């Protein structure tokens, strides 16, 4: 990355001063374009706003990086719907009463391994109704009372992919019947239209485009490669 380009990124994206999502991606001033790549069309984003506005308590549990998720939420005005962002490395953001994210103490990792989502839900998520929405759900230790909404794995458009229609309708019914439910959301290809973490990896480790060829091709199609 050239010095000039790096300066350009920081000038056009204030978030890059603090967070690593845009800082390391050599995409010049295409931040708005990248955010639309991640979240999908304005119509899809509006649909997501409508869906999330039906939830009263939502948190994100991701195998990506909480810092990236936080930045993507903030830059696309989705922050308001969530109380926590937790990643499987233990990074843990909570939203303070003033609406701003605060980094809370890390979630302890057992035996040095990453957090398993089902164990996190079992140990840390409390509520009379808990709904877990994920395109790659982790279920071995998931308590029986948790309502699992299983989506198609890495479907383009995430929860709004046509193949997720039945799952989406089931989620909407649950939300209508249990307005106080706690909803645990996966991030990549569940809330998002495309896989943020894998795309970020392609853009920051270009020699390893072959690790995620599908997302390298998607970035090429959106003229976001370099």
Residues near Mg ion (CB under 5 A): 135, 186, 188-189
101/185 with CB nearer Mg ion: 185
Nearest CB to Mg ion, comparing residues 67 and 88:
88
Shortest CB 29 distance to Mg ion, Å = 28
Long-range contacts of 41-49 (CB under 8 A, 24+ apart): 44/157, 44/160, 44/193, 45/76, 47/160, 48/78, 48/159, 48/160, 48/191, 49/78
Residue 30 vs 62, nearer CB to Mg ion: 62
- All residues at 6 or more sequence positions from 146 whose CB lies less than 8 Å from its CB, including other chains: 121, 130, 131, 132
Rounded Cα–Cα distance for residues 204 and 6 (Å): 13
Q: Kindly state the smallest distance separating residue 67's Cβ from Mg ion, in Å.
A: 17
User: Which residue, 9 or 71, is less far from Mg ion as judged by CB?
Assistant: 71
- 3-state class (DSSP) for residue 136: coil
Count of alpha carbons within 13 Å of 202, Cβ hemisphere only?
Answer: 22
Residue for token digits 């003033």?
A: 98
Give me the helix-helix angle, 66-75 and 196-204, nearest 10°: 110
The residue nearest Mg ion at its CB is 188
- Closer to Mg ion at the Cβ: 45 or 152? 152
Question: CB 224 → Mg ion: shortest distance, Å?
Answer: 20
Can you tell me the distance from the alpha carbon of 201 to that of 73, in angstroms, rounded to the nearest whole number? Answer: 18
- Shortest approach of Mg ion to residue 138 CB, angstroms? 11
- Please, what is the minimum distance in Å from the beta carbon of residue 188 to Mg ion? 4
């Amino acid at each position: 990355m050239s010095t000039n380009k790096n300066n350009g990124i920081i000038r056009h994206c204030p978030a890059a001063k603090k967070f690593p999502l845009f800082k390391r991606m050599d995409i010049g001033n295409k931040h708005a374009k990248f955010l639309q790549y991640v979240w999908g069309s304005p119509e899809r984003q509006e649909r997501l706003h409508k869906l999330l506005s039906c939830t009263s308590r939502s948190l994100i549990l991701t195998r990506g990086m909480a810092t990236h998720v936080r930045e993507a939420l903030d830059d696309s005005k989705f922050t308001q719907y969530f109380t926590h962002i937790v990643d499987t490395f233990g990074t843990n953001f909570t939203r303070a009463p003033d609406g701003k994210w605060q980094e809370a103490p890390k979630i302890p990792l057992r035996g040095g391994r990453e957090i398993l989502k089902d164990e996190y839900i079992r140990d840390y998520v409390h509520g009379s109704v808990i709904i877990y929405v994920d395109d790659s759900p982790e279920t071995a230790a998931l308590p029986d009372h948790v309502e699992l909404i299983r989506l198609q794995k890495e479907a383009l458009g995430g929860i709004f992919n046509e193949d997720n229609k039945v799952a989406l309708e089931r989620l909407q019914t649950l939300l209508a019947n249990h307005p106080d439910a706690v909803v645990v959301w996966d991030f990549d290809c569940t809330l998002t239209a495309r896989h943020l973490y894998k795309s970020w990896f392609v853009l920051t480790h270009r020699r390893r485009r072959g690790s995620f060829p599908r997302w390298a091709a998607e970035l090429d199609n959106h003229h976001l490669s370099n």
